[in-house]
Amino acid sequence: MDKVMVCLKRVVDYNVRVRVKPDNSGVVTEGVKMSINPFDEIALEEALRMREQGNASEVFVVSIGSSDCQQQLRTGLAMGADRAILIETDAEIEPLAAARIFLQLIEKEQPGLVILGKQAIDDDNSQTPQMLATLWDRPQATFASKLELIDGKAIVTREVDAGLEVIEVDLPAVLSVDLRLNEPRYVKLPDIMKAKKKPFETLAIADLDVDIAPQFETVTVEAPESRQRGEMVADVAGLIGALKEKGFSL
């Protein structure tokens, strides 16, 4: 395989407690630690292992967003990606628009495999990989927890509600990854320094023939209700009485 394309999204770090803006228009991102979407980081790790095993000659990372996304792409380069491409825009990009943008890059780069996280932890849509495979008219394997490449095919173990499912897809294909596929490597200081010299391309969204007009409108964003304090009861009779007081029928 020649190239592997990995899509990275900039999200609020998973260790940060998310806060809703006072006007309920979204979540607070100013002054908040941002990082690569954890599922996308796993996708990149798997692509790097493919290259190290001789199953790919190049791994490049792609992101859509503001200039701030350079930080996450640089991290991807420090992890080991060969080059990075930023599609720069300040607009909110919905899953279908993201899939259309990625398709434009696929037509230009002709990768043998496109890998993404199964979902982003900010919106949890889990839609972009499936939409991209449909637009590209290529096979897809989602929620992958194990991957093998054999004779131009991908043998993918998927995590599904009933357990595990093993499927075989022809390449090129779109693959979305789950948590148990691998553990991403740590970035070391020498790798960060090397990443500064790797190719980094920035394209304006206007340079692509893509419709990114939003199809949905966010009316309001609200934090979940605070959990009520627990109540101690002395015995089963007290438990039944407390449940009845709260309106639960037994």
Please check whether residue 15 lies inside any domain of the structure: yes
Please check whether residue 143 lies inside any domain of the structure: yes
Give the burial class of 234: count Cβ atoms within 10 A of its Cβ; 0-12 exposed, 13-18 middle, 19 or more buried.
exposed
- For the ranges 56-60, 130-134, 222-226, the lowest mean pLDDT is seen at 222-226
Token pair for 3: 């190239």
pLDDT confidence of residue 26: 82
Mean pLDDT of 63-78: 95
Q: Which amino acid is at 198?
A: K
In the predicted structure, residue 250 carries a pLDDT above the cut 70: no
Token pair for 35: 């990082």
Please check whether residue 70 lies inside any domain of the structure: yes
Please tell me the pTM assigned to this model: 0.86
Please check whether residue 169 lies inside any domain of the structure: yes
Please check whether residue 219 lies inside any domain of the structure: yes
Please check whether residue 163 lies inside any domain of the structure: yes
pLDDT confidence of residue 29: 83
- For the ranges 70-74, 107-111, 195-199, 214-218, the lowest mean pLDDT is seen at 214-218
CATH classification at residue 236: 3.40.50.620
Interval 137-182: pLDDT, tens: 999 999 999 999 998 899 999 988 888 999 999 999 999 999 999 9
Domain range for 115 is 3-245
Interval 203-247: pLDDT, tens: 999 888 888 988 888 888 888 888 777 788 888 888 888 888 888
Quote the CA–CA distance of 74 and 94 in Å, as a whole number.
23
For the chain, percent of residues with pLDDT exceeding 70: 99
Please check whether residue 250 lies inside any domain of the structure: no
* The total number of structural domains that make up the chain: 1
In the predicted structure, residue 38 carries a pLDDT above the cut 70: yes
pLDDT confidence of residue 149: 93
Please check whether residue 203 lies inside any domain of the structure: yes
Transcribe the chain into DSSP letters.
Answer: --EEEEE--EEE-TTSPP-B-TTSSSB--TT--EEE-HHHHHHHHHHHHHHHTTS-SEEEEEEEESGGGHHHHHHHHHHT-SEEEEEE--S---HHHHHHHHHHHHHHH--SEEEEES--TTT----HHHHHHHHHT--EEEEEEEEEEETTEEEEEEEETTEEEEEEEESSEEEEE-GGG--PPPPPHHHHHHHTTS-EEEEEGGGS------S-------PPPPPPPP---SSHHHHHHHHHHTT---
- The rounded mean pLDDT for the chain is 91
Most confident segment among 21-35, 86-100, 202-216, 230-244: 86-100
